[in-house]
Amino acid sequence: MHQKEKIIQKRYEGFLQTNTLWKKNAVCELHQFEIEKKASKISIDIDEKLRLGKYIERFVSFELKQNKSIQIISENIQIQKEKITLGELDCILLKEKQPIHLEIVYKFYLYDASVGNSEIAHFIGPNRKDSLLEKIKKLKEKQLPLLYSKESDSYLKNINLNAKNIQQQVYFMGQLFMPFASKDITLNHLDENCIAGFYINRKELKQFENCKFFIPVKKDWITIPHKTVNWLNYNDFVTKTDGYLTKQTTPLCWLKKKNGEIEKFFLIWWP
């Protein structure tokens, strides 16, 4: 297996081990898509220039095609009105002959109790530019209603489907990161199996000065941490992350302790 194929395989394995953020329709009546996760060797030609969200959509497409009960009808459907793109339907498929409009989401969120007044509202993007609540609102108010637009209706007629017969589901996967100092946070709506690590600031980092560090590229954020990387010592890691923090960018990092245990964490620039 070539190096590029090995990297893609590791990313796909990490994708397969990511849980959906909630079960059934526990959050805002958004019904989670259910599929049995099966490990397999991935064999696709994938453009490394794709942003992470589109990259993961390729993984989902491959995963769906491995399931005999699923037939993909169309993917990445651009819905346009007078040459202006209104939005995109991620996927239309048949699952056991039931038509489903599927929206695919894979996100990283950090728990900040100072934001909002509910469990869902507490989860924000690593750079505080987005949130779980905002994404849910976009799904409910823009992405899912697009199926029922006049412009989508003309497309659906071409594939012999009617919107009223199509179920809408989300495949909303994610990794959650908790504040390092807080050990007593309980999740009531989101799946605790999605907790992937913690986040800390520069001052808190000092307690790990005897550990090793690694900063993966963004597409490797989904990769399961492993030992065969070029680890940095504490001082080199601090120097390398100075640039991220100055630019108010929050890197995802791997931490290897003296006992060999590896954890994932975000190093935040914000207080």
Residue spans of the domains in the chain: they are: 3-195, 201-267
Measured in residues, the chain has a length of 271
Report the candidate in 243, 269, 241, 219 with the shortest Cα–Cα distance to residue 9: 219
Distance CA 242, CA 56 (A): 29
The DSSP code for 225 is P
Distance CA 165, CA 176 (A): 34
Low-confidence ranges of the chain (pLDDT < 50): none
Distance CA 172, CA 136 (A): 10
Distance CA 163, CA 149 (A): 9
Residues forming beta bridges with residue 123, ordered by sequence position = 111
pLDDT at 1 (0 to 100): 60
C-beta neighbour count of 219 within 10 angstroms = 17
Q: What is the pLDDT of residues 2-42, one digit of tens each?
A: 888 999 999 999 999 999 999 999 899 999 999 999 888 99
Distance CA 213, CA 230 (A): 9
Say whether 77 sits in a helix, a strand or coil.
strand
Distance CA 12, CA 39 (A): 9
Report the candidate in 123, 239, 249 with the shortest Cα–Cα distance to residue 178: 123
**18 neighbors 107 (Cβ within 8 angstroms):** no
Q: What is the pTM of this model?
A: 0.96
Q: Tokens at residue 237, please?
A: 């890691």
The DSSP code for 18 is P
Report the candidate in 251, 257, 250, 252 with the shortest Cα–Cα distance to residue 234: 257
Q: Which residue has the tokens 């805002």?
A: 28
- Strands 84-95, 98-111: pairing is antiparallel
